[in-house]
Each structure stands twice: as C-alpha cells, then as structure tokens.
C-alpha cells in the first residue's frame, strides 16, 4: 500500500522572543518541517521504522539538537515521517507502515531510507524535511522524488539525539522543494555545526569536473537530459573538464564502505537484534545479520584505505572544484519489483553514492527535468565538493536551475 509518508502529526513551535504583537522575523519563520523517525522528539518514543524497537525503548526527554536549532530559528515541527527499518535500505519500503507515495511516479518506490521525508516534501505537505544519509538515503530519495537534497560534510550538522547506523558515515541531511529553501535551512544548520566542521564560507565553485565513467552508468532514458543540463550550465564555471573518477579512486568503494559500515552497524545494534529478535523485512534483517561477522581489524584496515581516498579526493577538488554526475543510475523501480531487482538497483546506486560517504564530503542532488516524460518527471544530478564546501555547492547549483 502507499501512503503520504507521515506516521505522526505534531505542531511544535518555539515562540519568538519578541513581543506578541510583533511579526516573527526569525530566519525560518513560517516554514513547516518534518523529521524522519530517527530523531528524538521530547515526549515521544523514537520508532526507527520498527514497532519492536519502539516497544523496547523509552520516551525521549528532549529533542534532538538539530530540532531545537530549527525551532529557535522559527520553523514549526509538524510531522514524523516513515523510515526504512533501522535506516538500513535505499528502497523506501516499510513492511509495517507501507511505501510512502512517490508523487511524480506513483507505483514506483520513493527511495529510502528517508522515504517518508522525501514523500512529504514532494507532495507539498511540508516546506522541508530532515532525514539521514549513511549510504545515500538523502540523495537517492531526492533523485527519485524530483526534489532537492543535501548530504552535508560529515559532522557539519549535529547528530546529537539521532539514532546511528554507521557513525563514520552518518549525516543529517535536508530535503526541500527548492534551492532557495535549501539554502535558508542549510545556512542555519551548517552555521551551528559541530566543532569538527570547518565551514568554508568565502569560497566559490569555479571548476567543474564531469565524471564520464559515472555518467556512463546512467540509463538511456535519463542520460540525454543530464548531459543537456551539464552543457547548459558550463558557462557559469571558469573551466569544465571531463574525467574518469575511477582514475583517482582505484579502490572498490562499495567493498571498502561495507567493511566499515558492517562492523559499526553491528556494534550499534547487534545486541538489541539478538536480544529481541524483532519482526523485520527479511532483506533488511539478513543485511544486519551479515554484519555480525565483520571484525574490528577489517574495519580498521578499511579506515586506513578511507583516509587515503579522502586525501586523493581533497587533492583533486581543492576548494574551488566540484564533481558532477548523476545522483542515481535510473528512475525508481516499481514497488512490485522483485527482491533481486531491488538489490541490483541498490548496488548500482551505491557505486555513485559511496564516494561522498567515504570522503565525508558534501553532495547536493539537483532535480533535472526529463523532456520525454509527460507529465513532467525529474531525476537527480549531483555536485560533490571538498569538505566544508556545503554552501558553495548549493550556490553553484543555481547554474542548473
């Protein structure tokens, strides 16, 4: 079944400090937002997409830090949105709640695990929504639902009060219907990021590197419009060069990512899984159980390779260059697609998503119209830049509007 992605309605606001009669001039005043069911909301038990998790955990005494930051800026929290169970999928299917509606392609998956947040934004039910992105769970649903999304630099936005999956890669991301709202929300949250985040505010993206090997992975029904969008935007940059990113990144990124995330996921939740044996989607439960044998030694070896990859990427990008490539390889599969087809689709998208996850670098997904589809359908085109260049790639994305 399909639904609007909202599992609980709220209306939480923080009054402006000014007198009652004065207009609210806070930067996000008037904007309504939703959060994925991984974020602590005071007075509510976080569900993590699984009823057994919710039954076995306590009511939250306080909000996730990022929620308080948004409330202080004048936004109103109006809903909790569905997530794939324990955030361990890129599909957007939840066996307990259903599949959040993909408004631009009904009957197709919305992408996960921030599926409910993307669905609610695409349907116009909220002005923006928060999700999380470990392996692509902001970027994939943004692309599939035809909206804007950013996976920020790792640690740039506070994750205090947000349930983890793989702490080396977990990020709090933002989904919006427009670049202007994305810029407003990001300016608030990135400005309040953790101490490990050094936001580069005075830099601009001047050079574009088009990743031909990633572009070659795009399906024939989306590739021409992505190429056209890249061509139309070239005049906004000082230089445009075509590269094969695999010449810089010689590692198997998916295998490297899994060697670290598998160990961390089991360390975070393995004990709970074994103690409670929850009812879960078979594919997600199997994915978790496969993490049980991951070792700390393998994870540490992976982290050494990860640091080498980060250094190579940083040298390639400097502080004025962005990679440009499709966010996803194709339009979303049908909700009725086989488990095998969904697995193949996840792996195809992981090939594109793993670079930012491993690098800890920011990536913004930009909705690009597909001219051959009526009514209008959009897919995602991405810009990825060096650590701290979050606001710079949002500004650079204006070239593709």
Q: What is the pLDDT of residues 71-109, one digit of tens each?
A: 999 999 999 999 999 999 999 999 999 999 999 999 999
Give the rounded percent of residues in the chain with a pLDDT score beyond 90.
Answer: 91
For range 188-202, the mean pLDDT: 63
Work out the average pLDDT over 132-136: 98
Strand order of the β-sheet with 6-12 is 6-12, 76-81, 32-36, 128-133, 171-176, 148-151, 363-370, 377-385, 321-326, 207-211, 239-243
Instruction: Write down the residue that tokens 């640690």 correspond to.
Output: 155
Average of per-residue pLDDT across 52-62: 98
Active site residues: 36, 113, 137
Q: Is the pLDDT of residue 140 over 90?
A: yes
The structure tokens 């969904």 sit at 342
- Determine contact, residues 257/298, Cβ cutoff 8 Å: no
Q: State pTM to two decimals.
A: 0.96
Residue 324's nearest CA partner among 199, 257, 220, 236 is 236
- Say what percent of the chain tops pLDDT 70: 96
* Locus of tokens 């005043």: 29
What lies within 8 Å, CB to CB, of 61 at 6+ separation is 42
φ, ψ for residue 292 (rounded to 5)?
Answer: -60, -35
Question: Residue 344 sits in a domain of what CATH number?
Answer: 3.90.1300.10
> Which structural domain, as residue segments, surrounds residue 178?
2-400
- pLDDT tens profile 272-288: 999 999 999 999 999 99
pLDDT surpassing 50 at residue 194: no
pLDDT at 267: 98
Kindly tell me the burial class for residue 375, based on how many C-beta atoms sit within 10 Å of its own C-beta (0-12, 13-18, 19 or more): exposed
Instruction: Kindly tell me if the per-residue pLDDT of 215 is higher than 90.
Output: yes
The radius of gyration computed from the CA coordinates of the chain, to the nearest angstrom, equals 20
* Interatomic CA distance for residues 356 and 154, integer angstroms: 9
Q: pLDDT-derived band of residue 2, with 50, 70 and 90 as boundaries?
A: low
Q: What is the DSSP string of 34-83?
A: EEETTB--TTS---TT-HHHHHTSPPPSS--HHHHHHHHTT-EEEEEE--
pLDDT for res 375: 78
pLDDT tens by residue, 219-273: 999 999 999 999 999 999 999 999 999 999 878 999 999 999 999 999 999 999 9
Tokens of 219: 């399906």
What spatial distance separates the first Cα and last Cα of the chain, rounded to whole Å?
34
Name the pairing type of β-strands 32-36 and 128-133: parallel
Weakest-pLDDT range from 174-178, 342-346, 373-377: 373-377
Indicate the angle between helix axes 296-317 and 253-276, nearest 10 degrees. 140
Dihedrals phi, psi of 328, to nearest 5 degrees: -130, 160
| Average pLDDT, integer, range 316-334 | 97
Q: What is the pLDDT of residues 352-384, one digit of tens each?
A: 999 999 999 999 999 999 998 877 899 999 999
- What's the total number of domains in the chain? 1
Secondary structure (H, E, C), 137-200 = CCHHHHHHHCCEEEECCCCCCCCCCECCCCCCCCEEEEEECCHHHHHHHHHHHHHCCCCCCCCC
């Amino acid at each position: 079944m399909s639904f609007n992605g909202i599992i609980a309605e709220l209306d939480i606001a923080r009054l402006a400090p000014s007198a009652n009669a004065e207009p609210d001039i806070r930067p996000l005043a008037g904007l309504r937002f939703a959060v994925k069911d991984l974020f602590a909301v005071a007075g509510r038990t976080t569900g993590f997409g699984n009823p057994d998790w919710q039954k076995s955990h306590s009511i939250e005494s306080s909000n996730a830090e990022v929620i308080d930051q948004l409330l202080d800026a004048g936004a109103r929290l109006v809903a909790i949105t569905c997530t794939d169970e324990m955030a361990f999928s890129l599909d957007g299917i939840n066996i307990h709640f259903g599949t959040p509606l993909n408004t631009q392609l009904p009957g197709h998956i919305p992408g996960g695990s921030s599926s409910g947040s993307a669905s609610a934004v695409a349907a116009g039910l909220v002005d923006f929504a928060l999700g999380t992105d470990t392996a692509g769970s902001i970027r994939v649903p943004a692309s599939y639902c035809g909206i804007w999304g950013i996976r920020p630099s790792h640690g740039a936005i506070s994750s205090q009060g947000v349930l983890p999956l793989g702490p080396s890669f977990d990020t709090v991301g933002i989904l919006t219907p427009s670049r202007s709202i994305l810029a407003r929300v990001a300016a608030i949250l990135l400005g309040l990021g953790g101490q490990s985040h050094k936001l580069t505010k005075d830099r601009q993206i001047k050079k574009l590197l088009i990743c031909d090997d990633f572009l070659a992975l795009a399906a024939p029904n989306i590739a021409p419009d992505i190429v056209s969008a890249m061509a139309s935007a070239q005049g906004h940059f000082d230089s445009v060069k075509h590269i094969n990113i695999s010449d810089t990144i010689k590692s198997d990124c998916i295998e490297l990512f899994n060697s670290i995330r598998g160990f961390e996921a089991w360390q975070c939740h393995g004990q709970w899984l074994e103690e409670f044996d929850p009812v879960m989607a078979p594919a997600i439960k199997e994915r978790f159980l496969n993490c049980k044998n991951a070792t700390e030694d393998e994870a540490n070896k992976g982290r050494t390779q990860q640091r080498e990859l980060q250094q190579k990427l940083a040298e390639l990008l400097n502080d004025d260059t962005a990679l440009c490539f499709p966010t996803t390889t194709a339009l979303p599969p049908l909700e009725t697609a086989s488990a095998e087809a969904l697995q193949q689709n996840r792996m195809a998208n992981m090939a594109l998503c793993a670079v930012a996850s491993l690098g800890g670098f920011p990536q913004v997904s930009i909705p690009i119209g597909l001219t051959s589809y009526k009514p209008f359908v959009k897919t995602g085109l991405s810009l990825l830049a060096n650590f701290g260049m979050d606001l710079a790639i949002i500004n650079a994305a204006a070239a593709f509007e």
